[in-house]
Amino acid sequence: MTLSNDDRKIIENSIRDIKDFPKEGIVFKDITTLLNDKKAYGILMQHLHDRYKSYNLDYIAGIDARGFIFGAALAQMLGLGFVPIRKKGKLPYTTISEKYALEYGVDEIEVHIDAFGEEKGAKVLIIDDLIATGGTANAAATLVNQTGAECVECCFIIGLTFLDGIEKLEEKTEVYSLIEVD
């Protein structure tokens, strides 16, 4: 399922660039303006629904925190369960976790051990707003697979292609980014 050029432009134009945030030299892609643009958000969510309705998915997993916004809405549209992949220490039940490298240091995400049900092999789509270096997304895909589920694809609204995150993640799973920034 492809997005028309007109619809892609509507979505792209709804995302605001913030220069020098969170530090000098970075151009932050602010999706809050996409979320409050009912036309752009509607086009985006309808596209994601149309793309994934035939994937025979069991769950949508959203990466903390912006992945929750898109993932929960998409799960509801597809009639699926939603699973949050959270930063360490935020989930109340027994979890498994995965560490990943940051520019300076290490971070960790986790998921409940029973997040994808009792039976092995649940098909899971992971979603987030943006992929840059891919550390968080790689850790999320690893976690899904460690539970016995299968990460079928990782979906991002924005993919920063000038970094190597997409390429690294493609070694583990399929990757779809709606808007690619060179």
| Residues labelled catalytic | 66, 103
126 DSSP β-pair partners: 61, 154
Strand partners, 16: 30
- What does the alpha-carbon distance between residue 97 and residue 86 come to, in Å, rounded to a whole number? 9
Q: Parallel, antiparallel, or unpaired for β 105-112 and 95-102?
A: antiparallel
DSSP E strand boundaries for the chain: 16-19, 27-30, 59-63, 81-87, 95-102, 105-112, 123-131, 150-160, 174-181
Distance CA(135)–CA(108), nearest Å, equals 10
Omega within 30 of 0 (cis) for the link into 61: no
